């Protein structure tokens, strides 16, 4: 994970050197391995490296081509050998990634982006055409932001210089905040009007007076993979997942893996050991980090973590995620906080994690995010049944309705009704309870930004791509939004990689029959069958379980007085986002043994603290500052920049077979990262918490 910043003045005037030096200082913490600069008349590009692979230490960034373009590359190219063969002798197999990307662009122009497999973000300044290209991988794993006006365009891997060097007060993007408070903002949005993110699987073409977004790749809805036997599916899945893990073991320092004791994380660890033993990957060693909370009666993952550690004959780093304040913040007065997801607070768990990273200079962390969503972690028959209905396979539909109804112990016609519901327009369907908005959000705010808060639900159709493919695209969009809200951190500096979100692996999982992934009574059927002999039987045979986490609700009772006091002077209320009276009433509910949406509460508090930080830094435009004039610089301590993000602070979750589900919030309290969109948490949770 490296960082780049660039500025292009359309009028032919060289970028201001003072502006460039300030940008260099702001991005320096994210790129400790030196800086490179490129200048071409009215364009200046900065690149700072964070080297995690052996070849990256010898690459020449920025890559300057004799054809008249410059490439700044932040990423890991997974199909290097394939591209070298396609380029037919232009480069050697030991060429660094950026050289391969530059040669690919010279050969195929913008068509090259679809050929690049891996986690990456790239900018190309093409002096021949006097244009700038910005592109990201299909998932949007690496961030890339840009801002334009009549005179210039600036772009960067992080938001800091685009906000702090804008030369004008910022304007808040209320649609982003609406998305944040309800689920996740769109992956091409930022909290600031006028600053956008390059959308996943797209490139942005920028010329004076022109900004055009084009999609360069998408999943093939017509692709089908059909085998004669289960064994062939198992072999293909095992090979694809192994390849994905191997790709992410491309690192010249020890690799750290989050190990929760569930199937996703355990599979990554066991496959990685299987790959590393004969020396099939670059990483010299693999270690694990696990979180425990002995104060949580419903959470005891120690036996399952121990099973994996016993198999690999190595104990990992164990972090105590015990009691701490979850809802009130004592924030250090340091740095700039770019998004609500960057809110952080000091804790013993955060310090333990930082010490773990620093103990062996880990630079790469493997995460199991996405495993549940794409391998059948949620045992829903709806995609499979909808496929039968859409294709007119009524006899098969009837048989499978009966089978699933017996397994789920409910009437078959009720299950059929749920299938038919997926084909109806959204306007005819009542909003599920877990999707209902927090009652303390201001009515005018909800009315003005209703579309952003209710992520678009595309109805299934009887013609065209299979309903299961539509369901997969919904899942992909949820994952893109989830990844987009995870901000880069600079202290401690590390790179997160996601084996279950490999493009080739997803192409396989999206093309096979749904009944390979989920069968009646067989959640994650393909994964369990394929990994026999690699992952311990105790992990593969774990039963699905669901339990409400007790700790956050107890913490809410303890900290409610502080929250009520805070609610008397809300910046979010001054901006028309929150109804302060309704918020205060909601905080009283747990005292009366009544339900409150913990996820919504965490998000609201995160937005409130972030707004107070912006006000303390005097970054809001004058109108917003006047509205919030009661919040003074002296009364607010902004958060420390660069530590674990708010989306890494807490997991309020349920479990299925050891993998957590719910809010993607971990590490500071030590709970494992989530595997599901927030809305699925409260669907499984009890209505009463005490």
Would residue 65 be called left, alpha or beta, if left means φ above 0 and alpha means ψ between -120 and 50 degrees? beta
The pairing of beta strand 286-292 with beta strand 317-320: parallel
Instruction: Assign 273 a pLDDT band (cuts: 50, 70, 90).
Output: very high
Sorting pLDDT into bands at 50, 70 and 90, what band is 647? very low
Q: Kindly list the distances between the CA atom of residue 438 and the CA atoms of 128, 294, 435, in Å, as whole numbers in the listed order.
A: 52, 31, 9
Torsion of the alpha carbons at 172, 178, 184 and 187, rounded to the nearest 10 = -50
What's the number of CA atoms in the CB half-sphere (13 Å) around residue 396?
Answer: 11
Residue 561 CB contacts under 8 Å (≥ 6 apart), including other chains: none
Please state the pTM of the whole predicted model.
0.88
Residue 269: which pLDDT band, with cuts at 50, 70 and 90? very high
Query: Can you list the domains of the chain with their CATH numbers?
Result: 3-215 (3.60.20.10)
Q: Mind giving me the DSSP string for 396-432?
A: HHHHHHHHHHHHHTS-HHHHHHHHHHTTS-GGGSPPP
Quote the CA–CA distance of 515 and 508 in Å, as a whole number.
14
Partners of residue 122 on adjacent β-strands: 73, 135
Question: Residue 241 pLDDT > 80, yes or no?
Answer: yes
Tell me, what's the pLDDT at 549?
67
Lowest mean pLDDT among 150-159, 349-358, 468-477, 592-601: 592-601
Contact yes or no for 131/206 (Cβ under 8 A): yes
- Please provide the average confidence, as pLDDT, over all residues in the chain: 84
Closest CA to 616 of 641, 643, 637: 637
Res. 168 pLDDT band, cuts 50 70 90: confident
Most confident of 208-212, 638-642, 666-670: 208-212
Q: Which of 190-194, 411-415, 547-551 has the lowest mean pLDDT?
A: 547-551
State yes or no: pLDDT of 385 exceeds 90.
yes
- Coil, helix or strand at residue 213: strand
Checking if the pLDDT of 434 tops 60, the result is no
pLDDT digits (tens, 9 = 90+) for 475-495: 999 999 999 987 777 788 999
Per-residue pLDDT band for 424 (boundaries 50, 70, 90) equals confident
**Which pLDDT tens digit goes with each residue over 100-142?**
999 999 999 999 999 999 999 999 999 889 999 999 999 999 9
Position 544 scores a pLDDT of 61
Cα gap 46→39, rounded to integer Å: 9
CA–CA distances in Å: residue 35 to residues 18, 23, 48, 640, 644: 16, 12, 4, 25, 25
Q: Report pLDDT digits (tens) over 628-645.
A: 444 443 333 333 343 333
Q: 234 near 530, Cβ under 8 Å?
A: yes
Strand ranges for 269-374 from DSSP E: 286-292, 317-320, 364-366
């Amino acid at each position: 994970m490296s960082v780049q910043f660039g500025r292009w003045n359309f009028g032919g005037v060289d970028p201001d050197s003072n502006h460039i030096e300030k940008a260099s200082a702001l991005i320096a913490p994210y790129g400790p391995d030196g800086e490179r600069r490129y200048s071409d008349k009215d364009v200046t590009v900065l690149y700072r490296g964070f080297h995690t692979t052996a070849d990256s230490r010898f690459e020449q960034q920025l890559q300057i081509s004799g054809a008249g373009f410059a490439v700044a590359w932040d990423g890991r190219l997974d199909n290097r050998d394939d591209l070298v063969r396609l380029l037919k002798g232009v480069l050697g197999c030991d060429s660094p990634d950026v050289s391969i990307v530059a040669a690919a662009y010279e050969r195929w122009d913008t068509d090259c982006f679809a050929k690049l497999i891996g986690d990456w973000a790239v900018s190309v300044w093409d002096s021949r055409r006097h244009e700038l290209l910005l592109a990201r991988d299909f998932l949007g794993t690496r961030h890339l932001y840009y801002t334009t006006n009549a005179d210039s365009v600036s772009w960067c891997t992080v938001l800091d210089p685009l906000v702090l060097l804008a030369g004008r007060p910022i304007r808040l993007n209320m649609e982003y905040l609406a998305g944040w408070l309800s689920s996740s903002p769109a992956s091409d949005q930022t909290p600031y009007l006028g600053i956008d993110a390059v959308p996943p699987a797209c490139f942005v073409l920028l010329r004076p007076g022109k900004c055009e977004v084009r999609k360069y790749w998408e999943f093939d809805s017509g692709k089908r993979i059909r085998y004669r036997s289960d064994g062939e599916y198992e072999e293909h899945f095992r090979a694809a997942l192994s390849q994905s893990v191997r790709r992410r073991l491309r690192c010249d320092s020890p690799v750290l893996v989050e190990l929760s004791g569930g199937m996703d994380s355990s599979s990554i660890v066991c496959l990685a050991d299987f790959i590393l033993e004969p020396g099939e990957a670059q990483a010299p060693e693999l270690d694990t980090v696990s979180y425990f909370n002995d104060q949580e009666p419903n959470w005891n993952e120690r036996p399952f973590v121990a099973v994996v550690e016993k198999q690999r004959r190595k104990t990992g780093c164990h972090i105590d995620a015990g009691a701490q304040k979850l809802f009130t913040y004592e924030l250090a007065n340091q740095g700039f906080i770019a998004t609500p997801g960057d809110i952080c607070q000091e804790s013993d768990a955060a310090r333990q994690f930082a010490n773990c990273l620093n103990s062996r200079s880990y630079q790469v962390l493997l995460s199991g995010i996405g495993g549940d969503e794409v391998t059948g972690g949620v045992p829903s028959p709806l995609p499979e049944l909808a496929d039968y209905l859409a294709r007119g396979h009524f006899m098969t539909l009837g048989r499978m309705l009966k089978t699933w109804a017996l397994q789920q112990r409910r009437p078959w016609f009720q299950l059929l009704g749920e299938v038919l519901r997926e084909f109806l327009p959204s306007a005819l369907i009542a909003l599920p309870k877990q999707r209902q908005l927090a009652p303390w959000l201001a009515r005018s705010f909800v009315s003005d930004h209703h579309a952003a808060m209710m992520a678009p639900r595309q109805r299934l159709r009887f013609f065209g791509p299979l309903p299961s493919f539509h369901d997969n695209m919904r899942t992909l969009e949820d994952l893109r939004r989830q990844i987009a809200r995870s901000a880069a951190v600079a202290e401690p500096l590390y790179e997160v990689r996601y084996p279950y979100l490999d493009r080739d692996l997803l192409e396989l999982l999206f093309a096979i029959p749904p009944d390979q992934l989920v069968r009646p009574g067989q959640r994650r059927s393909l994964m369990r069958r394929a990994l026999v002999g690699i992952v311990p039987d105790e992990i593969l045979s774990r039963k699905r379980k669901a339990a409400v986490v007790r700790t956050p609700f107890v913490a809410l009772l303890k900290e409610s007085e502080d929250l009520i006091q805070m609610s008397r002077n809300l910046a979010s209320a001054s901006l028309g986002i929150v109804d302060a009276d309704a918020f205060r009433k909601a905080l009283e509910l747990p005292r009366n043994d009544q339900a409150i949406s913990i996820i919504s509460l965490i998000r609201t508090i995160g937005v409130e603290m972030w707004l107070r930080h912006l006000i303390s830094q005097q970054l809001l435009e004058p109108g917003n500052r006047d509205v919030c004039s009661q919040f003074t610089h002296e009364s607010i301590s902004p958060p420390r920049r660069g530590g674990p993000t708010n989306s890494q602070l807490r997991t309020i979750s349920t479990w299925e077979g050891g993998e957590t589900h719910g809010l993607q919030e971990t590490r500071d309290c030590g709970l494992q990262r989530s595997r599901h969109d927030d809305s699925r948490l409260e669907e499984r949770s009890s209505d009463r918490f005490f």
